[in-house]
Amino acid sequence: MSTRPIRVLALVCSTRPGALGPVVGQWLIETLTPRAAELGVELVPVAVSDLNLPFLDEEEHPSSGEYRHEHTRRWSETVDAADAFIAITPEYNHGMPATLKNALDYLSREWAWKPIGFVSYGHTSAGTRAVQHAKQVVTTLRLVPLGATVAIRIGEAVQDGRLRPDPARQAAGVGLLDELVRLAHALRPMRERVRADTWAGPLLGSYARRLTADDAGQVTVLQRCCWVDEALANDSMAIPALHESPEQVRDWLTDWHTTGLWLDGRLLGMVRTRRVDTDWHLGRLAVVPDLRGQGLGRWLLRTAEAAADPACDRIVLFTGARSQRNIDLYHREGYRTVSSANPDGTTSLAKPVA
pLDDT value, residue 193: 79
194 domain-assigned = no
Q: How many CA atoms lie within 13 A of 285 on its CB side?
A: 25
Rounded Cα–Cα distance for residues 212 and 187 (Å): 19
User: Do 175 and 216 sit in the same domain of this protein?
Assistant: no
Question: Does one domain contain both 27 and 133?
Answer: yes
Q: What does the pLDDT look like over 82-140, one tens digit per residue?
A: 999 999 999 999 999 999 999 999 999 999 999 999 999 999 899 999 999 999 999 99
One domain for residues 226 and 322: yes
Mean of the pLDDT values across residues 257-278? 95
pLDDT tens-digit map of 309-347:
999 999 999 999 999 999 999 999 999 999 988 888 899
Tell me: do 129 and 17 sit in the same domain: yes
Amino acid letter at 155? G
pLDDT in the model for residue 301: 97
- The whole-number pLDDT of residue 1 equals 42
Helix (H, G, I), strand (E, B) or coil at 272: strand
Q: Does the structure show a pLDDT above 80 at 2? A: no
- Is the same domain home to 160 and 254? no
Amino acid residing at 268: L
Give domain status of residue 136, yes or no. Answer: yes
Residue 198 has pLDDT above 90, yes or no: no
**Are the C-beta atoms of residues 116 and 143 closer than 8 Å to each other?**
yes
- For residue 213, which of 272, 254, 273 has the smallest C-alpha distance? 254
What CATH number does residue 167 fall under?
3.40.50.360
- What is the percentage of the chain residues whose pLDDT exceeds 70? 99
Task: Tell me: do 29 and 100 sit in the same domain.
Answer: yes
Question: Residue 1 domain-assigned?
Answer: no
Taking the CB of residue 214, how many other CB atoms lie within 10 A of it?
A: 13
Please give the average per-residue pLDDT across 237-254, as a whole number.
93
Residues 156 and 272 in one domain: no
Examine the pLDDT at 271 and tell me if it is beyond 70. yes
Q: How far apart are CA 162 and CA 157, in angstroms?
A: 8
Q: Check residue 3 and give its pLDDT.
A: 56
- Is residue 83 in some structural domain? yes
Tell me the residue range of the domain where 49 lies. 6-189
